[in-house]
Amino acid sequence: MSNSLKNKSDSEKLDFRRKSKFDKKLILSAVKNAFIKLNPVIQAKSPVMFIVEIGAVLTTFFTFYDFLRGKRENLFINLQIAIWLWLTVIFANFAEALAEGRGKAQAESLRKTKKEIIAKKIVNEKIEKVPASALRKGDIVLVEAGDIIPGDGEVIEGIATVDESAITGESAPVIRESGGDRSSVMSGTKVLSDWIKVKITANPGETFLDKMISLVEGAKRQKTPNEIALNIFLIALSIIFLLTTATLEAFARYSHTIVSIPVLVALLVCLIPTTIGGLLSAIGIAGMDKLLKYNILALSGRAVEAAGDVDVLLLDKTGTITLGNRMATAFIPAPGVSEEELANAAQLASLSDETPEGRSIVILAKNKFNLRERELKNLKMTFVPFSAHTRMSGVNIEDREIRKGAIDAIEDYVRKNGGVIPPEVKLTVERIAMEGGTPLIVAENAKVLGVIYLKDVVKGGIKERFAQLRKMGIKTVMITGDNPLTAAAIAAEAGVDDFVAEATPETKLKLIREYQAQGHMVAMTGDGTNDAPALAQADVGVAMNTGTQAAKEAGNMIDLDSNPTKLLEIIEIGKQLLITRGALTTFSIANDVAKYFAIIPALFAKSYPELQVLNIMKLGSPNSAILSAVIFNALIIVFLIPLALRGVSYRPQNPNQILRRNLLIYGVGGLVTPFVGIKIIDLILTAILGIK
Ligand SMILES: Nc1ncnc2c1ncn2[C@@H]1O[C@H](COP(=O)(O)OP(=O)(O)OP(=O)(O)O)[C@@H](O)[C@H]1O
Ligand SMILES: [K+]
Ligand SMILES: [Mg+2]
């Protein structure tokens, strides 16, 4: 059975989410939403466009006022200005609505999975059929082949293959089992074979599916700190231009040029940064949406931005770099111990060990020596469960203490009981570790019995992808609870830059803090409960979807495919988001400056013939100059929607090169386009429509 990581091309798999980008239904609903967003309460969230909306209201009001007063001479031109101001706001709203559209459509299809599910709740060891909506945290349910899992939870007993395609879009089934880091199951997914008992961990309405719906729908999207800062800058610019326009009015009065309110509003709107103001939120939403296309759920926009600046990536080993299905493959006894004796002790120490490792040991012992689970009732056994802190597990039977665990942990344990690890066993440990396997040492009180060989497989295609990350200037560090030799072997096989072995959850957290203190932006990927503190501390915490509930709650992104090398895409999308925002801000401001020089000479040419020198554009008339500028200002938003949604093309390049290139394209481009655009519109207006 293939694990969730496969080499299938991304495009093939993602068809599920992609659909056609601009299909008719999406556009129609975006048009509808563009009008709904005119509601001032909603519009106020985008301050620059809110100013335009107020301007549109004022212009409309004055146009009608003039009409009622019988002042007809400027009626047509004012009406035109009013219409184009409204269109400016509607175009910007349309951009945002279009960016939100795909998420909304996907939320719709996710909702369909939420139809009423019947749960088999276990009450007093009997099954009671109840609706999923009646389940609460702590309830225990049985889910059998063919059943839909009624709520989020942890598998507490059993093992099953689960079809998670309703949520992940991935058709290959995944294994869910109790104990290890693959124990969490999601509401709305389907058990294909076998059965599991699940302890519910989320109340109805708070499940992963519910969260995912509100996330893709954008219902909970909040502005990121960067967006807020840019908005403040745009508001400040707008205020400066508001004052400029006001002085212009005084100046015009003085020079006996009559500038009406609609014209002043038009001037103001042309000057304030409407292009970026109108596209800003669409850019942010598009970034999160792009991640979704790669099957990554970004729980916050802030994380997407942070991803653009990540330069250190920490990864947990088992389940992240490797498939995480560590299986016992051999018992290698210590001198003077028989293999059966070792297998016997290993099995006893694993009888209640619900980790995949523990279960695989019981199975190997059974297969090799036909060791049956003994008459447990006659023995007084106390089990010592595995923990990431002790890195050991085992059993106490009267005064026998059997332990199995990592080399350093068992070494400490044996020493405390007055024993040592025989040199032969140390050699075996080294040999297994150098092959990339995980050696588990088995000991009884002071005596070392031997070694269990646990094998795990590195996920496919990882090395090439880490090489790409290196090219982008990102350092990869594997951080594992395993011993240094195994860690070194897997690190070499996976091609990470560095590794830290014998790590506890605290070590992981500390390492991230250290990197952050040195000014690095740190991403962490992991799947285990012991990774949760680190995932929460990292600037970008990517939890594997196969991982535990705790890991998924701690991270700010979830990779539905559980592929750690996706960080590559995450970082690219983050960088692209930052670059696109920067490029369009540059373009917008350059544009506004250019527009200023295009309009002013035309407006004042009558009163100040000297200004004719500046009137290089030779626009038809002051009226058509103003109207052309307003129309250009509105249309440029529409033209830039595809770029805002798609993002500026990104190649791994040094940041200075990128900055220089973008300043050139978007700065110079921003200065030139208005001259060309306004001239063309002016020609059309004067020649074809006869506006004077
Ligand atoms: N069931 C178990 N019983 C005893 N010891 C175990 C068991 N499972 C793992 N160990 C030992 O504990 C070590 C740490 O395991 P754990 O899975 O917690 O590591 P981790 O920090 O998550 O790192 P990684 O997942 O990268 O291996 C393992 O390398 C192994 O030596
Ligand atoms: K503008
Ligand atoms: Mg782990």
Give the domain CATH number at 453. 3.40.1110.10
> What is the C-alpha to C-alpha distance for residues 115 and 102, in angstroms, rounded to an integer?
21
Give the domain CATH number at 121. 2.70.150.10
Beta strands in 379-535 (DSSP E): 381-384, 392-397, 400-405, 438-444, 447-455, 475-479, 498-500, 522-526
* Residue 544 in domain: yes
Both 87 and 50 in one domain: the answer is yes
Catalytic one of 316, 456, 482, 559? 316
Length of the chain: 692
592 is in an annotated binding site: no
- Cα–Cα separations (whole angstroms), residue 45 to 41, 223, 580: 7, 10, 21
pLDDT at 622: 80
Number of domains in the chain: 4
Both 338 and 465 in one domain: the answer is no
Residue 557, strand partner residues = 298, 542
pLDDT at 182: 84
pLDDT at 126: 93
357 is in an annotated binding site: yes
Both 623 and 646 in one domain: the answer is yes
What are φ and ψ of residue 298, in 5° steps?
A: -90, 120
Both 527 and 665 in one domain: the answer is no
- Nearest of 651, 561, 605 to residue 8 by alpha carbon: 561
> What is the C-alpha to C-alpha distance for residues 622 and 599, in angstroms, rounded to an integer?
8
CA of 457 to the centre of ligand 1 (A): 15
Q: Which atom of ligand 1 is nearest to the CA of 482?
A: 29
**From 326, 348, 351, 440, mutation site for ligand 1 pocket: most ligand atoms within 8 A of C-beta:** 440
Which regions of the chain are under pLDDT 70?
1-22, 219-221, 257-258, 372-378, 605-607, 609-616, 652-655, 691-692
Both 161 and 226 in one domain: the answer is no
pLDDT at 102: 78
pLDDT at 64: 92
The two counts, helices (H) then strands (E), for the chain are: 24, 20
Both 637 and 653 in one domain: the answer is yes
pTM of full prediction above 0.95: no
Both 448 and 336 in one domain: the answer is yes
CA of 444 to the centre of ligand 2 (A): 78
Q: Is the CB of 481 under 6 A from ligand 1?
A: yes
Both 396 and 500 in one domain: the answer is no
- Nearest of 459, 462, 540 to residue 496 by alpha carbon: 462
Q: Is 210 a catalytic residue?
A: no
* Residue 110 in domain: no
CB of 95 closer than 8 Å to CB of 113:
no
| Ligand nearest to the CA of residue 406, numbered in listed order | 1
> What is the C-alpha to C-alpha distance for residues 619 and 601, in angstroms, rounded to an integer?
9
Which ipTM did the prediction report?
0.92
* Residue 523 in domain: yes
Both 191 and 229 in one domain: the answer is no
**From 314, 318, 413, mutation site for ligand 1 pocket: most ligand atoms within 8 A of C-beta:** 318
Q: Which atom of ligand 1 is nearest to the CA of 357?
A: 1
Q: Which atom of ligand 1 is nearest to the CA of 324?
A: 25
* Residue 68 in domain: yes
> What is the C-alpha to C-alpha distance for residues 362 and 351, in angstroms, rounded to an integer?
7
| Ligand nearest to the CA of residue 508, numbered in listed order | 1
- Nearest of 666, 678, 659, 634 to residue 56 by alpha carbon: 634
Q: Which domain holds residue 542?
A: 298-321+459-560
Give the domain CATH number at 505. 3.40.50.1000
Both 276 and 402 in one domain: the answer is no
* Residue 146 in domain: yes
* Residue 516 in domain: yes
Question: How is residue 686 written in tokens?
Answer: 């004067």
**From 352, 387, 390, 391, mutation site for ligand 1 pocket: most ligand atoms within 8 A of C-beta:** 391
Both 232 and 205 in one domain: the answer is no
> What is the C-alpha to C-alpha distance for residues 620 and 356, in angstroms, rounded to an integer?
79
Domain boundary (168, 198, 215) is at 215
CB of 1 closer than 8 Å to CB of 161:
yes
What are φ and ψ of residue 279, in 5° steps?
A: -105, -10
Both 336 and 205 in one domain: the answer is no
| Enclosing H/E stretch for 616 | none
- Nearest of 356, 272, 298 to residue 592 by alpha carbon: 272
Q: Is the CB of 529 under 6 A from ligand 1?
A: no
